[in-house]
Structure 1
Amino acid sequence: MKKLGIIALALFMQTVFAQTNRFVYQVTMKSDASDPKNVTTENAYLDISPEKSVFYSENRIKRDSILQKAFQGGGGRGSINRDQMESLRSNINYTVEKDKTNQKTFFKDRIGRDIYSYEEDRPLNWKISSETTKIGEYKVQKAETDFAGRKWTAWFTTDLPYQDGPYKFGGLPGLIVKVEDDKGDYSFDLMKNFKIAEFPTLNQFGNTVKVKRADFVKQQKKFIEDPMSFMSQGQSGGFNQTRIGGGNRGGGGGFGGGNQNPAEMRKRMEDRIKEEVKKNSNPIELQ
């Protein structure tokens, strides 16, 4: 009986650990270089299982849910509430997936009509300090690193059985509760966590193009210089695909185009894309 009890306990602990845990971070951003007083805040999810973790915008899930209900109901894009979708626009249009088994980090983001995916090739070299404090209910320890042109300070806890963090951050002996850059442009703050049944399916519109990080940077630069060249294939097709995908790099502007003049649609889309590029002129990665 004692052996059975030990086996049952072990199976129970294994089941608990195998569950996916969702950590909700509040992300604070000053993404417009021309307007440093413009601070935007939104929530993002870090879903963690023993095999992998995924970091993405909370608004993306909400938008996907609205789109799914609209199409399942047979209404299509014409039945989607434009104001509701606009209220769920996000500055976090990327997805970061960490493969725990192979210790690899993959980044996905939209450029124009397509999704570009690359494996992160820069290691995070942390300098762990002996300084500790308390953030919320967690005892945390300080660590610092230089990454992608910014100096970052993180506070991690060993109170939770995870070695992970928001965005591309990880590699510390605990879960990152807070991480921010020294300019105060970007901050990720853990707000709460709870268990979920499984990873959600994230809708993806457009082709996925796997590239090296250097090639992604080149394409991104080209898009900033001439965004409309990325939208040239199929006016309304590219317009709707990109807009639905929620990408700020080619965000488009509206649903159910109806009988709108193609030239007017293109002009409106071009103005919208240029405005989006301007709003994201202070990106999280400077190098």
Structure 2
Amino acid sequence: MKKILASTIMCFAAMAAMAQTADIEVSYTTRSLYRNGVERINKYHLLANSTLSKFYSPRSEEIDSLISTPEGLAAFKKTQEAALKAMIGQGMIDMKNLPRKKENVYVIKSVRDSMITVYDMLDNEPVYYTEPFAELTWETGDSTKNILGYECIQAQTDYHGRHWTVWFTPEIPVHDGPWKFRGLPGLILEATTGDGIGFFADGIQQSSKDIGSVYDAEKYERYNRKDILRARRAVIDNPKGTLTAKGLLDGVEIDPDLLKPKSDGGDFIETDYR
């Protein structure tokens, strides 16, 4: 099966490169920590060919597809309202059970442009930024291990404030991987830091899906990556000051506990904004 997958990818890579169709789809479990230290787990997929890839949450893309039309947005709001009423009727509101996006990030990697484009949300504002491939450099080691039946080689990088160890397999000739990672001679199946953040491949298959773009991409406003992170940190460290500056507390009474700083030493996946 491994040989069939690898050879098929090589045969169709040229055709896929001419279009925006994938030749491989990889599912990843992502692990990180909430600020209170509780483990956070999400599912992402990578669609990739030799020149283009998209790393995204299938559930979030499904919702973005739905709300990209007025009719779909109205239907989604009705679904949310119905779920909220049901929870109120049961006497308990659990936001985890409310239909909504858990993740907002899309990562597009374009070999033609040698550029990574990240689409995200800053509060309720859709934002995006770009960065060159050149910001990511690798040091390959001699260690090996088996992941999903593929022989993998270790590589390491210091990237945007964190040290990462990754495992890639030359058996799958796709120079891509989870999140922003790419540029090794094979598919990256695992990437971890030393403090609980990681991406772990749990499924690989051939694909002819349309990689496509991000729904309503024209509505995203261009920002600087570090400015986005600084703005998020400001909300965590000084929620009252941030909301006051935006005029969102004028004439509003809010539980003082909700306005206390929430920082407890945790940080984002990228820490070089400070």
Normalising by structure 2, we get a TM-score of: 0.71
Q: 1:120 to 1:229 in 2, by over 3 A?
A: farther
Q: 1:102 aligns with which of 92, 95, 113?
A: 113
1:177-207, Cα deviation, whole Å (9 max, x unpaired): 1010012x21101111231431266444994
Residue in 2 that maps onto 1:145: 157
Q: 1:131 aligns with which of 136, 143, 149?
A: 143
Q: How many aligned residue pairs are there?
A: 242
What is the distance in 2 between the residues matched to 1:138 and 1:118? 34
Q: 1:63 to 1:274 in 2, by over 3 A?
A: farther
Q: 1:285 aligns with which of 251, 262, 270?
A: 270
Residue in 2 that maps onto 1:43: 43
Residue in 1 that maps onto 2:243: 228
1:12-32, Cα deviation, whole Å (9 max, x unpaired): 775477641321101111132
Deviation, 1:214, is 3.6
1:158-193, Cα deviation, whole Å (9 max, x unpaired): 11120011111111111101010012x211011112
Contact 1:114/1:206, CA 8 A, preserved across alignment: no
Aligned counterparts, 1:27-66, within 5 A: 27-32=30-35, 35-36=36-37, 38-64=38-64
Structure 2, unmatched stretches of 5+, are 1-9, 85-93
Residue in 2 that maps onto 1:23: 26
Secondary structure of the residue aligned to 1:63 is helix
Deviation, 1:155, is 0.2
Q: 1:44 to 1:220 in 2, by over 3 A?
A: same
Deviation, 1:62, is 3.8
Secondary structure of the residue aligned to 2:60 is helix
One-letter amino acid of the structure 2 residue matched with residue 55 of structure 1: F
Deviation, 1:105, is 0.9
The answer as to 2:197 corresponding to 1:186 is yes
One-letter amino acid of the structure 1 residue matched with residue 179 of structure 2: Y
Root-mean-square deviation (CA), in Å? 3.8
Q: 1:112 to 1:129 in 2, by over 3 A?
A: same
What is the distance in 1 between the residues matched to 2:159 and 2:15? 36
Contact 2:53/2:211, CA 8 A, preserved across alignment: no
Residue in 1 that maps onto 2:6: none
1:2-58, Cα deviation, whole Å (9 max, x unpaired): xxxxxxxx99775477641321101111132xx32x112121011113331111123
The answer as to 2:177 corresponding to 1:175 is no
Secondary structure of the residue aligned to 2:135 is coil
Q: 1:153 to 1:75 in 2, by over 3 A?
A: closer
Q: 1:208 to 1:65 in 2, by over 3 A?
A: closer
Q: 1:219 aligns with which of 231, 243, 250?
A: 231
What is the distance in 2 between the residues matched to 1:29 and 1:75? 32
The answer as to 2:163 corresponding to 1:160 is no
Q: 2:210 aligns with which of 198, 203, 208?
A: 198
Structure 1, unmatched stretches of 5+, are 1-9, 234-261
One-letter amino acid of the structure 1 residue matched with residue 33 of structure 2: K
